[in-house]
Chains A and B, each alone.
Chain A
Amino acid sequence: MKVTIDNITIEVEPGTTILQAARKIGPEVAPPAMCYYEPLKASGGKCRACLVKVTAGSEKDPRPMPKLVPSCITQVQDGMIVENTVNEQVLETRKGIVEFLLLNHPLDCPICDQAGECHLQDFSFQHGVQQTRYEEERRTFEKQDLGPNIQLHMTRCILCYRCVFTADQITGNRVHGVLNRGDHAEISTYIEKAIDNDFSGNVIDVCPVGALTDKTYRFKNRVWFTKPVDAHCDCEKCSGKVTLWYRGDEVIRVTARKNQWGEVLEFICNTCRFERKNTADWTIEGPTKVARHSVISANKYGANKIVPEFARRLAASQYKDVHEGRDTSQLNIKQLPEERFKQLIPPAGESAVAGIRSIQNWADDK
């Protein structure tokens, strides 16, 4: 069936969600996803970061949908027309979502192990506003050790439920993981109990923020100073396919491999993650392709050769590239107003380093 997203039409299988279809087109039109995680059943629908406007429900029933819909769990219909980056209401709402997610967030990026590969950093940088209007006290929690290797900073949690689904779906059969309600809800001891399990470490990889971190890697280095390398080993518990993160000759961290959306390709066991930290344990395949995270890839490819993803995504030229050569004649084309681009695009020639610096400045300002 056919679906049109931001004026680009593609053919997809029935059952595909709007988000999946948009990802097929490419990162330029893919909505941000803070809770949806393709490898985890039932994930999505919670953070509302991926809300989009459906301007025509389907070929048969071309009426627009009255509310914005979560693209990660809304299946496409034949002839559906969706607006994401070209719709002002969507962009405005998304700004609101950033503000909500950051409302009670500590933004202690300078001392957060996730900094540099944090989806919340990326999301707020791409879609947020620079200031918060929140004057009240933020909610805080005590740090908690979940077993010897995992630490929970509940204060940074955005309640995406990914770790709950992970604990549920790959580490055995449990249902709960969230205690209490509303902004006082917390990931809690249920997880702690499930954590004594060969695959528990995967909750670190699925967590989009620095709420679940690897204690064996704690404060070892900033991620953008490390070198990621794909490697494998013969493991009787998991596929043994991992990414090793080097500082000099030392393996300081082992993670699962991720796709360009930050999703784990194959979950790995705790032995591979926490105990195999010698190069001799592994067969090296080569440098990891880091497609998504601006900061990591900037280090890897050199500052001047690559434009950071977040800046590129917003560049008017790129936006036009995506739409070039497509038949948009019958479509309701809404271009973003010129001034918006002016606000969003970094000055010409700005390098990745400057981009990183602006993230840091921005974070420091908070």
Chain B
Amino acid sequence: MTSERPKILTDKTHIPGIETFDVYRKNGGYSAVEKALKTMTPDEVVEEVKKSGVRGRGGAGFPMGMKWSFLAKPEGVPRYLVCNGDESEPGTFKDHWLMKTIPHLLIEGMIVSSYALGANTSYIYVRGELMYVVRILEKAIAEAKAAGFLGKNILGSGYDLELYVQPGGGAYICGEETALLESLEGKRGNPRNKPPFPAVKGLYQCPTVVNNVESIATTSWIVNNGGDAYAAIGIGRSTGTKLISASGHLKKPGVYEIPLGLPVQEFIYSDEWCGGIRDGHHLKAVVAGGSSVPILPAAMLLKTASGEDRLMSYESLSDGGFATGTMMGSGGFIAMDETACVVKNTWNFSRFYHHESCGQCSPCREGTGWMEKVLHRIEHGHGSMHDIDLLVDVAKKIEGNTICPLGDAAAWPVASAIRHFRDEFEWHITHPQEATRPGAIFKGHMELV
């Protein structure tokens, strides 16, 4: 690890006992709460977050300060901040790691952010499978409350905040912000039609901001160091650092905090980060931002269409649109070497979206199951050539026509896999016996790196 790399979220995570209030506090924790509540107005906090240029880390990358400034503020109506800790996308596991490793960083961020937004009740919605994380957070909240950082009249500032942790019921769809709000209200987690957006009508029909765990966790640093200092890190409109959940055939998978703008090549191959592809193997394909984003062949990921080095930034990853680019997404970086079967992987993703569709709108409800079944057929050697075009067409009919982006998220992996790996799909159809052999490796004209 080189020391000059900026660390915003992970500078203290190596300290033993950092999950306890005392150790966190001794290492400078909760200074952002003191600074914000004692020396800044809520609007000044919003201003710093705006200046920082930090973008939502939950997937869509919407500028956080801008989202905050859209929050409606009608008289006499409560406002809410809801932290999205549902993290259920295949390939993404950074929020889970952050919450269990340094829970007080999130709680400190929640206090600062709630103060900025004028919320007196805030929620952290945690993925249902992670009950032990719920307990860690509840313990941390109790500690912070005992120390006077939560509850009534925090630090004598006159500001009150109650913070609650709500475990989900184990549905991926409850990570979609409006489904999350429904679930938080005790209802079935069906996404709402938008508009109205949560900023106008959110939790209990009141103005609400929903932000990702990582997004909220950055706010303490921004308050302490200023928005300009944050914006100085990163590249262009991709400011600051980002947690990447690296998995797959890498030498060193794990959660990394990277400065945005790091070359993809360096992230994969440098010993400072993933350390390259496992010995004796070569990189074939990468899903760079969690299962929802388009899969790219290795060469296309490392270089943009114009031949430049691709960087780990929102702009560079999406350079070339879907024809040659992908998306930053939630930062779930899944690397596959030549032993991975793209057809099988696509089927597997499809199975996930089929299982997780809430079933409200017909294109997603019916289309996800259809794609899954056709992919299953191809993967198991019973496909026909027109199945490939059928998949493209079904994906197209889902995309953009659904209530929430889960429909798109189900369509993109299928469409992109066929776009870039069509010959592998065809091979499964023309050589079913070979392709369905255990350990079969496609050796078509595929560029490995």
Contacts and interface: CB of A to CB of B under 8 A. Distances in A.
Interface string B343-381: 000000000001111111111011111100110000000
Main secondary structure of the interface of B (DSSP, over half): helix
Main secondary structure of the interface of A (DSSP, over half): loop
Highest count of chain B CB atoms <10 Å: which of A46, A68, A161, A184: A46
Nearest to B386: A133
A236 interface: no
Contact of A67 (B173, B368, B401): B401
Contacts of B397: 93, 96, 99-100
A353 interface: no
Contacts of A104: 366, 369
B403 interface: yes
A333 to B, nearest CB: 25
Classify chain A: how many residues form its interface, as a range: 20 to 34
A178 B188 contact: yes
A96 B370 CA distance: 13
A183 B357 contact: yes
Given A133-B390, A136-B370, A176-B188, A185 B359 contact: yes
A70 interface: yes
Given A96-B397, A134-B370, A176-B188, A185 B362 contact: no
B400 interface: yes
B359 A159 contact: yes
B41 interface: no
B359 A181 contact: yes
Contact of A181 (B357, B361, B367): B357
B187 interface: yes
B402 interface: yes
Contacts of B355: 181-182
Contact of B361 (A48, A68, A96, A184): A48
B368 A182 contact: yes
Contact of A68 (B357, B362, B400): B400
Contact of A175 (B187, B362, B370): B187
Contacts of B359: 159, 178, 180-185
Interface in A161-206: 161, 175-176, 178, 180-185
Which are the 4 A-B pairs with shortest beta-carbon distances?
A96-B397, A185-B359, A182-B357, A100-B366
12 contacts: A46-B362, A48-B362, A96-B401, A97-B362, A99-B397, A100-B365, A101-B366, A159-B359, A181-B173, A181-B356, A182-B356, A182-B358
Interface of B: 171, 173, 187-188, 193, 354-363, 365-370, 373-374, 390, 397, 400-403
